[in-house]
Amino acid sequence: MTQTTFSTPFNLRRRFALNSLAVIAVIALGLGWLMSHMLTQRMLQREGEVSMDFIQNLLATDQSGMYLANPANSELKAKFLGSMAHVASMSEPVRANAYQTDGTIVWSTDSALIGRRYPVNDELDEAIAGKLVVHNGRLSAGDPIKGEHVGLAQRTSYYVESYIPILHPVSRQVLGVMELYKVPVQLNAAIRDALLQLWLACGVSALGLFATLYWTVARADRVMRDQQARLAESQTLSTAVELARAVAHNLRNPLASVRVSAEMLMGSDRSIDDLMEHCNDITASVDRADRWITELVRVSQVPQLQSEVVEPSPLIQECLEEMTPEMNRRGIRWTVSPQTAPPILAHTAMLRQILISILANATDVMPEGGDIAVRWSVAGSNLKLHLTDTGPGIREEVRKALFRPFFSTKSGGLGIGLALVKRMVEQWGGGIALTPATGRGTCVELTLPLANANDTKA
């Protein structure tokens, strides 16, 4: 049963294009809305300031503004109504109201409003406090939000409302408030043109920023892809070299058996049984070498070794039995855990080469004999294989360097190399570590993921 993991390759340009376009669009829309709001309010405020200067100068010329503070004076009333006639004759105001400081309307272009007083009017209260208040809005055909809006919806839907404080020419005390409702056609057209240019500038800037960043990221992506391709070529060459070393290293043992058996056959005084035994040794060694070569060729032709479910106990037993003739010649004894290890996720042929190379290396460092022990344990969702020898051990500085590519402590190399072993084991989701064995020797610890994470120690 093969477990294949499908993963979507990370596309830097596509991911950046989607994310950056979304972020830049949000920023452009936010800035566009904020700047358009500020621009609209600034232009309306400027329109209100111009109206305030006009009204203030109009009422200050003949002192008619004093009527708001003294409505009982008939002379001031006549002057005030004369000034208001100029206001009423203006083309833009839809409605104009004059308030006393107590909120009472003393004059209006709509005579039905004269004498009324609206208790809730925040804008009027701010104007009475001496502040120019300008805002815009739309009127609905239903119930008006404010009482002074009654009847306006029939004449216009969009309006600009200005509350202009009328100041005393000398003391600058607020005498009253003039309220103007306008439909500023020219101002609206100017605001529309300004907003159009603003949004156009935001759009062009956003596109320019996106294009510049995308070009930069695309160029960086091409460079990284080229570097990744060169790195892959380098790793492929490294793997090929290491596999070639594995072939040479792993063939030494069966070739040595063939040589010994051939030398024994050279004697003419051997019995038929001895001859048959040596012929069987030669055949077994050739078959073992042929199987290793076949596995290595198959491994070298696979671009990426997909993990599969592997039964480790039989595989470990096979590897030990294959190395038994060489171990016997060197006087090396081996032991293995009697329990059956749970299934793991690995690659059968590659794991076999890894175990053979580790065992062969342990055999090489014990020419005068020794012991090799294979033990296993379950740690969480992983199986830990411990292959321990009683050789001379490895110095700390050498142990740290053994996982570097092409590093070896002897001219013959270390089979497929610990660098490749580490890369393969990590590809399966595991790891490898070298630690000093208790007493003497070296312990190689392979950490491999369990096929079933719920497996427990046998």
Q: Model confidence over 319-369: pLDDT tens digits?
A: 898 888 888 888 999 999 988 999 999 888 888 888 888 888 888 888 888
Cα distances (angstroms) measured from residue 378 to each of 13, 14, 446 = 43, 42, 12
CB-based burial, 422-431: b 16+ in 10 Å, e otherwise: bbbbeebbbe
The average pLDDT across 305-328 equals: 86
Residue 412, pLDDT score: 39
Percent of the chain with pLDDT over 90: 14
pLDDT in tens, 141-192: 554 556 566 655 555 566 788 899 999 888 889 999 998 888 776 777 787 8
Kindly indicate the confidence band of residue 265, based on its pLDDT and cuts at 50, 70 and 90.
low
Instruction: State the pLDDT at residue 276.
Output: 74
| Secondary structure (3-state) at 432 | strand
* pLDDT exceeds cutoff 80 at 398: no
Residue 21's alpha-carbon distances to 10, 18, 202, 203, 216, in angstroms, are 18, 5, 14, 12, 14
Between the alpha carbon of residue 92 and those of residues 113, 146, 362, the distances in Å are: 20, 21, 101
Sign of CA dihedral 339, 345, 348, 353: negative
What superfamily in CATH does domain 62-183 come from?
PAS domain (3.30.450.20)
- What's the CA gap between 382 and 225, in Å, rounded? 34
Does the structural domain 305-458 have CATH classification 3.30.565.10?
yes
Of the listed ranges 28-42, 88-102, 138-152, the one predicted with least confidence: 138-152
- Rounded Cα distance, 97 and 163, in Å: 9
Coil/strand/helix, residue 417: coil
Q: Which residue has the higher pLDDT, 430 or 93?
A: 430
Closest CA to 417 of 367, 345, 353: 353
Segments making up each domain of the chain, as ranges: 62-183, 305-458
The verdict on pTM exceeding 0.75 is no
Higher pLDDT, 399 or 225: 225
Mean pLDDT across the chain: 79
Residues 6 or more apart in contact with residue 134 via CB below 8 angstroms: 44, 45, 47, 48, 160, 161, 162, 163
The confidence score (pLDDT) of residue 342 equals 92
